[in-house]
Amino acid sequence: MKPNQLKWVFLVALAFLWGSSFILIKKGLVGFTPLQLTALRVLITGIFLTLIGFKKIKEIQKSQWKWIAISGFIGTMLPTLLFSIAETEIDSAIASILNSTVPLLALITGVLFFSNQFIKKQFMGVVIGLVGSVLLILAGASLNPNQNYWFAVLPVIASLMYAFNANILKSYLERISALGIATGSFLILIPFAFGILVFTGFFNTEFLAQEAVQTSLIYVTVLALMGTALAKIIFNRLIQLSNPVFSTSVTYLIPIVALFWGFMDGEEFNWYQLAAGGVILLGVYVSNRKKKEKKNKVLEKA
């Protein structure tokens, strides 16, 4: 498959994996605190990636390890914690919608801090998608007026971290395989995750014996293997095939998947949200469409 086609396959796959992550976080929070959920998600993912990708570690040069570490913390651990805390007060679908600010933030951080070229077409698409996201937020707020929307600041901060991470991957780690980047970053995070679980009493026998904890453990395991391990590998490869703005535009598709799962779980949904989802898709299209090459007509004189 050609790279231009493959990047769209990866984009759709990521939309499903990450779009499903928000409902899995919600289910995981039934038995775990946000800190426990984050640490457990990182630990399971780290062990899995180490088993399948340890040989890829040799691709990482000594000078690149600092970027691998930064990518691990701002691209996974800290955003995961912020989203988990946010979902204790706001719906999973709303959290996913706020994640749609990533492409705009990736564009801004890329231009300001990574010397990326400013492309008017991308900016227009990002703004259109952002408008759709705002409409989705307003529609969600009207349905759930009792939720604490101050917690909505946390997903925005997490999105800023994702934006910086996307540019770091493109600027400093592009030549390392997707599996190598993911394995290296989680290898660094494993000790921190394990320490958090010990500190919070996760390994206590009585705690693990609780039915809610065991059920949540299943959800977090699926979240770790599919929504983190597999998704991280795909995202890292997508960055290499495209650019930070295109790759992070997956966050425009994520709310559509998240809204579906939220609706199935009893979260309210209306047609205004569906229309806003259409605006988001328009933003993705505008941001990534190609200019048509103009054909030069050759006039022959008789």
**Tens-binned pLDDT, residue by residue, of the chain (302 aa):** 777 788 889 999 999 999 999 999 999 999 999 999 999 999 999 999 999 999 999 999 999 999 999 999 999 999 999 999 999 988 887 788 788 778 778 888 888 888 777 777 778 877 887 788 788 777 767 777 777 777 888 998 999 999 999 889 888 998 899 899 999 999 999 999 999 999 999 999 999 999 999 999 999 999 999 999 999 889 888 888 887 778 877 877 888 898 889 888 887 767 777 787 778 778 767 766 665 544 444 444 43
Whether 293 is covered by a domain: the verdict is: no
Whether 191 is covered by a domain: the verdict is: yes
- Vertex 17 angle, CA 14 and 22, to 5°: 120
Task: Go through 188-220 and write b for each residue having 16 or more CB atoms within 10 A of its CB, e for each that does not.
Answer: bbbebbbebbeebebeeeeeeeeeebeebbebb
- Vertex 232 angle, CA 227 and 234, to 5°: 100
Whether 301 is covered by a domain: the verdict is: no
Whether 107 is covered by a domain: the verdict is: yes
Whether 128 is covered by a domain: the verdict is: yes
pTM for this prediction = 0.82
Domain extent for 187: 3-288
Q: What's the rounded Cα separation, in Å, for the pair 208 and 206?
A: 6
Whether 170 is covered by a domain: the verdict is: yes
Q: What's the rounded Cα separation, in Å, for the pair 76 and 185?
A: 9
Domains identified in the chain, total number: 1
Whether 295 is covered by a domain: the verdict is: no
| Among 224, 277, 279, CA closest to 41 | 224
Whether 297 is covered by a domain: the verdict is: no
Q: Which residues are within 8 A (CB) of 1 and not within 5 positions of it... i.e. 6 or more apart? A: 9
